[in-house]
Protein backbone atom coordinates (compact mmCIF):
# COMPACT_ATOMS: atom_id res chain seq x y z
CA UNK A 1 0.00 0.00 0.00
CA UNK A 2 2.89 2.37 0.68
CA UNK A 3 3.44 3.04 -2.97
CA UNK A 4 0.01 4.70 -2.94
CA UNK A 5 1.38 7.67 -1.02
CA UNK A 6 3.02 8.61 -4.30
CA UNK A 7 -0.52 9.14 -5.63
CA UNK A 8 -0.45 12.59 -4.13
CA UNK A 9 2.15 13.57 -6.70
CA UNK A 10 0.57 11.96 -9.74
CA UNK A 11 -0.96 14.65 -11.95
CA UNK A 12 -4.69 13.85 -11.88
CA UNK A 13 -7.48 15.50 -13.85
CA UNK A 14 -8.92 18.42 -11.84
CA UNK A 15 -12.26 16.59 -11.50
CA UNK A 16 -10.64 13.67 -9.65
CA UNK A 17 -8.74 15.72 -7.07
CA UNK A 18 -11.56 15.82 -4.46
CA UNK A 19 -11.97 12.04 -4.71
CA UNK A 20 -8.26 11.52 -4.13
CA UNK A 21 -8.34 13.80 -1.10
CA UNK A 22 -11.28 11.84 0.35
CA UNK A 23 -9.43 8.61 -0.20
CA UNK A 24 -6.23 9.85 1.45
CA UNK A 25 -8.20 11.05 4.46
CA UNK A 26 -9.94 7.71 4.77
CA UNK A 27 -6.65 5.84 4.39
CA UNK A 28 -5.06 7.93 7.14
CA UNK A 29 -7.78 6.75 9.59
CA UNK A 30 -7.37 3.08 8.75
CA UNK A 31 -3.59 3.31 9.02
CA UNK A 32 -3.97 4.91 12.45
CA UNK A 33 -6.30 2.08 13.49
CA UNK A 34 -3.74 -0.52 12.38
CA UNK A 35 -0.99 1.25 14.35
CA UNK A 36 -3.20 1.30 17.45
CA UNK A 37 -3.99 -2.42 17.29
CA UNK A 38 -0.35 -3.33 16.61
CA UNK A 39 0.86 -1.21 19.52
CA UNK A 40 -1.68 -2.80 21.90
CA UNK A 41 -0.63 -6.26 20.75
CA UNK A 42 3.08 -5.49 21.13
CA UNK A 43 2.46 -4.31 24.69
CA UNK A 44 0.51 -7.47 25.55
CA UNK A 45 3.23 -9.63 24.04
CA UNK A 46 5.98 -7.87 25.97
CA UNK A 47 4.11 -8.03 29.27
CA UNK A 48 3.39 -11.73 28.78
CA UNK A 49 7.04 -12.43 27.90
CA UNK A 50 8.23 -10.81 31.13
CA UNK A 51 5.85 -12.93 33.22
CA UNK A 52 6.07 -16.17 31.26
CA UNK A 53 9.53 -15.99 29.65
CA UNK A 54 8.17 -16.57 26.15
CA UNK A 55 6.28 -14.65 23.51
CA UNK A 56 2.71 -15.71 22.71
CA UNK A 57 2.90 -13.70 19.46
CA UNK A 58 5.26 -15.22 16.92
CA UNK A 59 4.77 -12.50 14.29
CA UNK A 60 2.30 -9.98 12.91
CA UNK A 61 1.35 -8.77 9.47
CA UNK A 62 -0.97 -5.99 8.41
CA UNK A 63 -2.49 -4.70 5.22
CA UNK A 64 -4.82 -2.05 3.90
CA UNK A 65 -7.27 -3.34 1.34
CA UNK A 66 -6.41 -1.96 -2.08
CA UNK A 67 -8.97 0.19 -3.88
CA UNK A 68 -9.52 -2.41 -6.68
CA UNK A 69 -10.10 -5.09 -4.04
CA UNK A 70 -12.58 -2.87 -2.18
CA UNK A 71 -14.48 -2.14 -5.41
CA UNK A 72 -14.49 -5.80 -6.42
CA UNK A 73 -15.97 -6.83 -3.05
CA UNK A 74 -18.63 -4.09 -3.19
CA UNK A 75 -19.62 -5.08 -6.73
CA UNK A 76 -19.75 -8.75 -5.71
CA UNK A 77 -22.20 -7.78 -2.98
CA UNK A 78 -24.28 -5.59 -5.30
CA UNK A 79 -23.35 -2.40 -3.41
CA UNK A 80 -22.29 0.99 -4.83
CA UNK A 81 -18.61 0.86 -5.78
CA UNK A 82 -17.10 4.02 -4.30
CA UNK A 83 -14.97 5.00 -1.29
CA UNK A 84 -17.90 6.22 0.84
CA UNK A 85 -19.70 2.93 0.27
CA UNK A 86 -16.53 1.00 1.20
CA UNK A 87 -16.31 2.91 4.50
CA UNK A 88 -20.01 2.22 5.18
CA UNK A 89 -20.07 -1.42 4.18
CA UNK A 90 -16.65 -3.03 4.60
CA UNK A 91 -15.15 -3.99 7.95
CA UNK A 92 -11.92 -5.41 6.53
CA UNK A 93 -10.34 -2.33 4.94
CA UNK A 94 -7.77 -2.48 7.75
CA UNK A 95 -6.48 -5.96 8.55
CA UNK A 96 -4.03 -7.24 11.13
CA UNK A 97 -2.95 -10.89 11.19
CA UNK A 98 -1.47 -12.24 14.41
CA UNK A 99 0.48 -15.50 14.29
CA UNK A 100 0.69 -17.22 17.67
CA UNK A 101 2.83 -20.08 18.88
CA UNK A 102 0.12 -22.23 20.50
CA UNK A 103 -3.68 -22.52 20.22
CA UNK A 104 -4.16 -21.30 23.79
CA UNK A 105 -2.14 -18.15 23.01
CA UNK A 106 -4.78 -17.17 20.44
CA UNK A 107 -7.47 -16.95 23.13
CA UNK A 108 -5.13 -15.31 25.64
CA UNK A 109 -4.31 -12.57 23.13
CA UNK A 110 -7.93 -12.20 21.94
CA UNK A 111 -9.32 -11.99 25.50
CA UNK A 112 -6.75 -9.39 26.54
CA UNK A 113 -7.39 -7.25 23.45
CA UNK A 114 -11.19 -7.42 23.54
CA UNK A 115 -11.33 -6.57 27.25
CA UNK A 116 -9.65 -3.17 26.67
CA UNK A 117 -12.46 -0.74 27.37
CA UNK A 118 -11.94 1.62 24.43
CA UNK A 119 -12.09 -1.23 21.93
CA UNK A 120 -15.56 -2.29 20.80
CA UNK A 121 -16.11 -5.84 19.62
CA UNK A 122 -18.26 -5.82 16.49
CA UNK A 123 -17.99 -9.50 15.55
CA UNK A 124 -16.20 -12.66 16.58
CA UNK A 125 -16.01 -15.68 14.29
CA UNK A 126 -14.28 -18.67 15.76
CA UNK A 127 -13.20 -20.83 12.84
CA UNK A 128 -11.07 -22.88 15.26
CA UNK A 129 -13.99 -24.23 17.27
CA UNK A 130 -16.06 -24.36 14.03
CA UNK A 131 -13.66 -24.73 11.09
CA UNK A 132 -14.87 -23.79 7.61
CA UNK A 133 -15.97 -26.80 5.52
CA UNK A 134 -12.65 -26.64 3.60
CA UNK A 135 -10.67 -26.98 6.86
CA UNK A 136 -9.75 -23.30 7.33
CA UNK A 137 -9.03 -22.40 10.96
CA UNK A 138 -8.46 -18.98 12.55
CA UNK A 139 -10.10 -16.69 15.08
CA UNK A 140 -11.54 -13.62 13.34
CA UNK A 141 -12.39 -10.48 15.28
CA UNK A 142 -13.84 -7.27 13.92
CA UNK A 143 -12.97 -4.53 16.38
CA UNK A 144 -13.76 -0.84 16.38
CA UNK A 145 -11.02 1.40 17.74
CA UNK A 146 -10.91 5.13 18.50
CA UNK A 147 -8.83 7.37 16.26
CA UNK A 148 -8.28 10.97 17.32
CA UNK A 149 -8.13 13.46 14.46
CA UNK A 150 -7.53 17.18 14.77
CA UNK A 151 -11.17 18.05 15.45
CA UNK A 152 -12.94 14.79 16.12
CA UNK A 153 -12.74 11.27 17.43
CA UNK A 154 -13.80 8.62 14.94
CA UNK A 155 -14.37 4.88 15.35
CA UNK A 156 -12.58 2.74 12.82
CA UNK A 157 -13.12 -1.01 12.21
CA UNK A 158 -10.16 -3.38 11.97
CA UNK A 159 -10.32 -7.08 11.10
CA UNK A 160 -7.94 -9.07 13.30
CA UNK A 161 -7.18 -12.65 12.27
CA UNK A 162 -5.44 -14.69 14.95
CA UNK A 163 -4.03 -18.14 14.16
CA UNK A 164 -1.16 -20.48 15.02
CA UNK A 165 1.97 -20.88 12.90
CA UNK A 166 0.55 -24.21 11.70
CA UNK A 167 -2.86 -22.73 10.77
CA UNK A 168 -1.05 -19.93 8.93
CA UNK A 169 1.09 -22.43 7.03
CA UNK A 170 -2.08 -24.15 5.76
CA UNK A 171 -4.04 -20.94 5.03
CA UNK A 172 -1.15 -19.37 3.10
CA UNK A 173 -0.55 -22.40 0.90
CA UNK A 174 -4.27 -23.08 0.38
CA UNK A 175 -4.79 -19.46 -0.67
CA UNK A 176 -1.96 -19.66 -3.23
CA UNK A 177 -3.16 -23.01 -4.56
CA UNK A 178 -6.73 -21.76 -4.93
CA UNK A 179 -5.62 -18.78 -7.00
CA UNK A 180 -3.63 -21.05 -9.32
CA UNK A 181 -6.83 -22.68 -10.58
CA UNK A 182 -9.28 -20.02 -11.81
CA UNK A 183 -12.08 -22.55 -12.32
CA UNK A 184 -11.81 -23.85 -8.76
CA UNK A 185 -9.84 -26.67 -7.18
CA UNK A 186 -11.16 -30.14 -8.25
CA UNK A 187 -13.10 -32.07 -5.63
CA UNK A 188 -10.48 -34.72 -4.91
CA UNK A 189 -7.85 -32.03 -4.27
CA UNK A 190 -10.23 -30.14 -1.94
CA UNK A 191 -10.70 -33.43 -0.06
CA UNK A 192 -6.93 -33.82 0.20
CA UNK A 193 -6.57 -30.23 1.44
CA UNK A 194 -9.22 -30.88 4.09
CA UNK A 195 -7.26 -33.92 5.28
CA UNK A 196 -4.08 -31.83 5.54
CA UNK A 197 -5.97 -29.18 7.55
CA UNK A 198 -7.14 -31.87 9.98
CA UNK A 199 -3.60 -33.30 10.29
CA UNK A 200 -2.32 -29.81 11.06
CA UNK A 201 -5.02 -29.28 13.70
CA UNK A 202 -3.98 -32.54 15.35
CA UNK A 203 -0.32 -31.39 15.35
CA UNK A 204 -1.32 -28.08 16.94
CA UNK A 205 -3.08 -29.99 19.73
CA UNK A 206 -0.04 -32.22 20.28
CA UNK A 207 2.28 -29.21 20.46
CA UNK A 208 -0.07 -27.58 22.97
CA UNK A 209 0.01 -30.74 25.14
CA UNK A 210 3.83 -30.92 24.96
CA UNK A 211 4.05 -27.26 25.92
CA UNK A 212 1.63 -27.71 28.85
CA UNK A 213 3.58 -30.73 30.13
CA UNK A 214 6.92 -28.92 29.96
CA UNK A 215 5.45 -25.88 31.65
CA UNK A 216 4.23 -28.15 34.45
CA UNK A 217 7.76 -29.55 34.92
CA UNK A 218 9.27 -26.07 34.82
CA UNK A 219 6.80 -24.78 37.44
CA UNK A 220 7.54 -27.67 39.81
CA UNK A 221 11.30 -26.94 39.56
CA UNK A 222 11.04 -23.18 39.90
CA UNK A 223 12.46 -21.54 43.00
CA UNK A 224 9.83 -19.48 44.79
CA UNK A 225 10.31 -15.76 44.28
CA UNK A 226 10.40 -14.02 47.65
CA UNK A 227 8.71 -10.64 47.54
CA UNK A 228 9.58 -8.09 48.78
CA UNK A 229 13.22 -9.01 48.11
CA UNK A 230 15.22 -9.51 51.29
P1 LIG B 1 -14.44 -12.06 2.74
O2 LIG B 1 -15.39 -11.58 1.68
O3 LIG B 1 -13.39 -12.99 2.19
O4 LIG B 1 -13.82 -10.94 3.53
O5 LIG B 1 -15.33 -12.96 3.70
P6 LIG B 1 -16.16 -12.60 5.00
O7 LIG B 1 -16.35 -11.13 5.16
O8 LIG B 1 -17.38 -13.48 5.05
O9 LIG B 1 -15.19 -13.03 6.16
P10 LIG B 1 -14.51 -14.42 6.50
O11 LIG B 1 -14.40 -14.40 7.98
O12 LIG B 1 -15.17 -15.59 5.86
O13 LIG B 1 -13.06 -14.30 5.82
C14 LIG B 1 -12.29 -13.15 5.85
C15 LIG B 1 -10.83 -13.44 5.52
O16 LIG B 1 -10.39 -14.65 6.16
C17 LIG B 1 -10.50 -13.67 4.07
O18 LIG B 1 -10.31 -12.47 3.39
C19 LIG B 1 -9.19 -14.48 4.18
O20 LIG B 1 -8.10 -13.65 4.54
C21 LIG B 1 -9.47 -15.37 5.37
N22 LIG B 1 -10.10 -16.63 4.94
C23 LIG B 1 -11.40 -16.96 5.11
N24 LIG B 1 -11.63 -18.18 4.62
C25 LIG B 1 -10.47 -18.66 4.13
C26 LIG B 1 -10.08 -19.87 3.47
O27 LIG B 1 -10.86 -20.78 3.26
N28 LIG B 1 -8.76 -20.00 3.11
C29 LIG B 1 -7.85 -19.02 3.36
N30 LIG B 1 -6.59 -19.24 2.97
N31 LIG B 1 -8.19 -17.85 3.96
C32 LIG B 1 -9.47 -17.67 4.33
MG1 LIG C 1 -11.80 -10.08 3.61
Q: CATH no. for residue 12? A: 3.30.460.10
| Ligand 1 nearest atom to the CA of residue 97, by list position | 20
- Cα 197 to ligand 1 centroid, rounded to whole Å: 16
Residue 181 belongs to a domain: no
Closest atom of ligand 1 relative to the 73 alpha carbon: 2
Local confidence band at 5 (pLDDT 50, 70, 90 cut-offs): low
Spatial separation of the C-alpha atoms in residues 112 and 116, rounded to whole Å: 7
Which pTM does this prediction carry? 0.89
User: Phi, psi (5° rounding) for residue 133?
Assistant: -55, -30
Is the separation of the CB atoms in 174 and 196 below 8 Å?
no
2 has pLDDT over 50? no
pLDDT of res. 138: 98
Q: Establish if 23 belongs to a structural domain.
A: yes
Residue 224 domain-assigned (yes or no): no
Q: Report the phi/psi class of residue 121: left, alpha or beta, with left for phi > 0 and alpha for psi in -120 to 50.
A: beta
Residue 65 located in a structural domain: yes
Instruction: Tell which wins on pLDDT, 78 or 17.
Output: 78
Name the residue with the closest Cα to ligand 1, atom 20.
Answer: 161
The string of pLDDT tens digits covering residues 54-75 is 999 999 999 999 999 999 999 9
In a domain, 195, yes or no: no
Q: Is residue 76 part of a domain?
A: yes
Q: Give residue 7 CA to ligand 2 midpoint distance, Å.
A: 24
Whole-number pLDDT of residue 104: 97
Residue 132 beta carbon below 6 angstroms from any ligand 1 atom:
yes
Identify which has the larger pLDDT, 106 or 10: 106
Please work out whether the CB of residue 125 comes within 6 Å of at least one atom of ligand 1.
yes
Q: Is the peptide bond before 136 cis (omega within 30 degrees of 0)?
A: no
State how many domains the chain has. 1
Q: Is 21 in the pocket of ligand 1 (CB under 6 A)?
A: no
Alpha carbon nearest to ligand 1 atom 24, residue: 136
- With a 6 Å cutoff on the Cβ, whether 88 touches ligand 1 is no
Residue 179 lies in a domain: no
Whether residue 161 lies inside any domain: the answer is yes
What are the two backbone dihedrals, phi and then psi, of residue 115, each rounded to the nearest 5 degrees? -90, 0
Structural domain containing residue 16:
7-165
Give per-residue pLDDT as tens, 73-104: 999 999 999 999 999 999 999 999 999 999 99
What are the backbone angles phi and psi of residue 174, rounded to the nearest 5°? -60, -40
33-42, 100-109, 186-195: range with lowest mean pLDDT: 186-195
Residue 185 binned pLDDT confidence (cut-offs 50, 70, 90): confident
Amino acid sequence: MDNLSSLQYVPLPESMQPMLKDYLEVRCRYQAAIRLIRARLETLDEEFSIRNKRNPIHSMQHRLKTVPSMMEKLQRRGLPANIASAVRNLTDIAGVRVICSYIQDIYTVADALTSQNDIRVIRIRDYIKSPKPNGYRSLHLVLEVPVFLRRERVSVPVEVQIRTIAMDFWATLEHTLRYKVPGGVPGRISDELLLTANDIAALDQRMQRIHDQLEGIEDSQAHPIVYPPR
